[in-house]
Amino acid sequence: MTLAPLLAAPRPIWLHLAAAVSALVLGAWLLLASRKGGTAHRVFGALYLVLMVLAAGSAMWIHALNPHGPLGLSPVHILVVTTLYGVVSGLRAARRHDVQGHRRAMTSLYLTAILLAGALTLVPGRLLYRTLFGP
């Protein structure tokens, strides 16, 4: 393991990683351990949504996979749209007191935007792969 690739990364990557890792931990607690509907769940749920929007927004400034493509976007940027859709869907369901819809939206958001996207960062050659496992 070497932090050199991460330390040399542009600031949007730092922001993205900080938001995503924080959302990974907080989201797991919200899904698995928090008392649903309680004050802590609501407060930390709002923070989780802010972290997800920060992660999605900062991803728009990361162009390592396709630097010369249109706007530097790559297929992985589709996850930005799905993340924002998940945030809005989950928030709308919570405000309507649609518990099942909220649970479904938040679980899908965590599985796709955190776990799937996180798994994609561990593909050989990507920054986190190089940081954790070397070149």
> pLDDT tens-digit profile of 89-129?
999 999 999 999 999 999 999 999 999 999 999 999 899 99
Owner of token pair 């309680």? 38
Give buried/exposed letters for 6-21 (b at 16+ CB in 10 A, else e): eeebeeebebbbebbe
Domain total in the chain: 1
Domain holding 128, by residue range, is: 4-133
This prediction's pTM: 0.91
Distance of CA 69 to the CA centre of its chain: 23
Residue 66 has pLDDT above 80, yes or no: no
Residue 21 has pLDDT above 90, yes or no: yes
**How far, in Å, CA of 77 to CA of 71, rounded?**
11
Sequence letter at residue 130: R
